Structure 1
Amino acid sequence: MSFKLDPILERDSHHLTQLKLCQIRLMDNSNYPWLILVPMKNNIIEITDFEQADYDLFNWEIRKVAKILQNEFKPDKLNIATIGNIVPQLHVHIIVRFKNDGLFPKTVWGSQFVPYEHENLKAIKDIIIKSLIAY
């Protein structure tokens, strides 16, 4: 069976690339550099659903992407979360936060999304993809 992405994740984000386990997606919210890692395995809802090797790889990929975001954007804080109350398919959010970002120190959940304009979307995609290749 081929991998099926939850329709909400597909609607709200842009595909960037994929690692060995996870698809990397950019949330369509230009207020924050905000990536989502989605393991490309069906029927994975909790991290406890992984076999040990996939669990280890998942955590390694999260750390890799988080370090890339730290290096590229120099945030005051990274928010890394797996919540899944609305989208049960396992996915992890990695959100770059700055003390002057408008909501800090509050969470971004439930805030208004400001979609990327074409030029800005291309620019952030290029930054992230080049950083992943170079890592």
Structure 2
Amino acid sequence: MFELDERLAKDTIKLASWPLCEVLLMNDRHYPWFILVPRVPQISELYHLDAEQQKQFQEESNRLSMHIMKQFAGYKLNVAALGNVVRQLHIHHIVRFESDVAWPGPVWGKVPSEPYTEEELASIQSGAKAWLSLPLFSAR
């Protein structure tokens, strides 16, 4: 049975459930930082997904990437699956700007995270509402 890692649950806000993945927002106002977590128990690597799941993941990742870059008018998109601290497979999608506090380096450990205000969170959720609810192809 799938369970979201407790650290991810503590550090993120759930935005949606897509056919394969939970769509999460990292609660750090420094960056528009989204995470896809496939609801497949006990996996830690992308290659652990079967062929249909990989196809579905690619569609969901592409959908997320396209919409967050448009919503936030990003300069660059960083997509990464590290898993050194949280072993559960989760893929970061971070919109970057030349003006962000960590540019051009990685976002991890540069500055302490700051949670979104209620107003900032409401604005992000409002802006994402339309594309989060668009139908997605389901390989299953």
The interval holding the TM-score normalised by the smaller chain is: over 0.9
For the residues of structure 1 that align with 2:47 and 2:101, how far apart are their CA atoms? Answer: 35
The answer to whether the 8 Å contact 1:99/1:105 transfers is yes
- Structure 1 window deviating more from structure 2 (6-15 vs 110-119): it is 110-119
Tell me the residue number matched to 1:114.
114
Q: CA deviation at 1:127?
A: 1.2
For the residues of structure 2 that align with 1:31 and 1:130, how far apart are their CA atoms? Answer: 23
Which ranges in structure 1 are unaligned for 5 or more consecutive residues?
Answer: none
Q: CA deviation at 1:132?
A: 2.4
Could you state the TM-score of these two structures normalised by the residue count of structure 1?
A: 0.94
Q: CA deviation at 1:56?
A: 1.1
Tell me the residue number matched to 1:97.
96
Could you state the TM-score of these two structures normalised by the residue count of structure 2?
A: 0.91
RMSD: 1.2
For the residues of structure 2 that align with 1:15 and 1:132, how far apart are their CA atoms? Answer: 11
Which ranges in structure 2 are unaligned for 5 or more consecutive residues?
Answer: 136-140
Q: CA deviation at 1:70?
A: 1.4
Q: Tell me, what secondary structure is at the counterpart of 1:53? A: helix
Q: CA deviation at 1:133?
A: 2.7
